[in-house]
Amino acid sequence: MGLLEGKKAVILGAASKDNMGQVTARLCAAEGAEVLVAGRKEGPLSELASEIGGHYALCDITDHAQVHGLAATAAEKMGRVDAAINCTGWGLLANILETTEEQLDQICALQFKGVHHFLQAFVQQMKDQDPQGGSLISLSSATTKALINNHAAYIGTKTAGEAMIRCVANDFGQYGIKANTVSPAFTESPMTSDSFQVPGLVDAFMPKYPLGRLNTSEDVAEACAWLCSDRAFVTGQNIQPNGGLTLRGNPQAVDIEAAVGAAMAKMQQDG
CA distance 269 to 125: 61
Q: What are the phi and psi torsion angles at 3 (to 5°)? A: -60, -30
Count of domains forming the chain: 1
What is residue 190's predicted lDDT score, i.e. its pLDDT? 67
d(CA 17, CA 28): 17
What is the mean pLDDT of the segment spanning 214-227?
97
**CB-based contact 24:220 (threshold 8 Å):** yes
Judge contact between 81 and 75, C-beta under 8 A: yes
Of 29, 78, 85, nearest to 224 by C-alpha is 85
The pLDDT confidence band at residue 264, using thresholds 50, 70 and 90, is confident
What CATH number corresponds to the domain at position 74? 3.40.50.720
Let me know: does 217 contact 189? Beta carbons within 8 Å.
Answer: yes
User: Does residue 206 lie within any of the structural domains?
Assistant: no
Which pTM does this prediction carry?
0.94
Residue 19 — pLDDT band, cuts 50, 70, 90?
very high
**H and E: helices and strands count for the chain:** 11, 7
Average pLDDT, the chain: 94
Is residue 66 a part of any domain in this protein? yes
Which has more pLDDT, 72 or 256?
Answer: 72
In a domain, 253, yes or no: no
Q: In this structure, is residue 28 part of a structural domain?
A: yes
Question: CA-to-CA distance for 267 and 269, rounded, in angstroms?
Answer: 5
More confident residue, 262 or 211: 211
Considering only CA atoms, which of 271, 230, 248 is closest in space to residue 3?
Answer: 230
| Residue 269: predicted pLDDT | 79
pLDDT tens-digit map of 67-94: 999 999 999 999 999 999 999 999 999 9
**Does some domain include residue 202?**
no
75 three-state secondary structure: helix
Residue 254 located in a structural domain: no
Prior bond to 131 cis, omega within 30? yes
Query: What are the start-end ranges of the H helices in the chain?
Result: 20-30, 42-52, 64-78, 101-108, 114-128, 152-172, 193-196, 201-205, 217-228, 245-248, 253-270
Structural domain for 241, as ranges: 8-192+212-248
Q: What pLDDT was estimated at residue 196? A: 66
CA distance 88 to 111: 8
Residue 217 lies in a domain: yes
pLDDT in tens, 182-214: 999 988 776 666 666 777 788 889 999 999 999
pLDDT tens-digit readout, 116-127: 999 999 999 999
pLDDT at 262 over 90: no
199 inside domain: no
